[in-house]
Amino acid sequence: MRNRLNVYLPSEMMNGISELAERRKLSRSAIVEAAIASFLSPDGADKREAAFARRLDRLSRQAQRMERDLGITAETLALFVRFWLTITPPLPADAQSAAQIKGRERYEGFVETLGRRLQKGRSFLREIPDDVTDNSGMSTFGQDQSDQGT
């Protein structure tokens, strides 16, 4: 047996209930009944807490991944700059303008290649296995290896 209950709700709430009922192909009574049952449920708070915990865990993993990627990016840039500064001799004054022109051309090519890779969804960081870095985001290959060859 079902009992009838008359309730006054704000127009915005009624519109929201009606739209949800339409989208889910349910009656408005079913939507309101489910909402009240969830509110009165003794384990409703536990379910909400579990849902929040899952979301927080996912956000925590995403933050760890971003920290890892940032660490890899910083190390890559540092190694490249160290290598480039070590092996690139200074140019004589008469070769500077030609080198600047060639440098601009090469940079434009680099930017175009980068744009194409990003459009395709390709990423250098995705090519690196997760177990390559430890929790600090630093390389597990060893600190001395970064100094080799420079």
For residues 132-145, give the mean pLDDT. 48
Neighbours of 68 (CB within 10 A): 20
Sequential DSSP letters for 37-82? HHHH-TTHHHHHHHHHHHHHHHHHHHHHHHHHHHHHHHHHHHHHHH
3-state secondary structure of 95: helix
110-115 contact pairs (CB < 8 A, 24+): none
Q: Where are the domains of the chain?
A: 11-40, 46-147
Please say if the pLDDT value at position 65 is more than 50. yes
For residues 90-117, give the mean pLDDT. 92
% pLDDT > 70, the chain: 87
pTM for the full predicted model: 0.50
For residues 81-89, give the mean pLDDT. 92
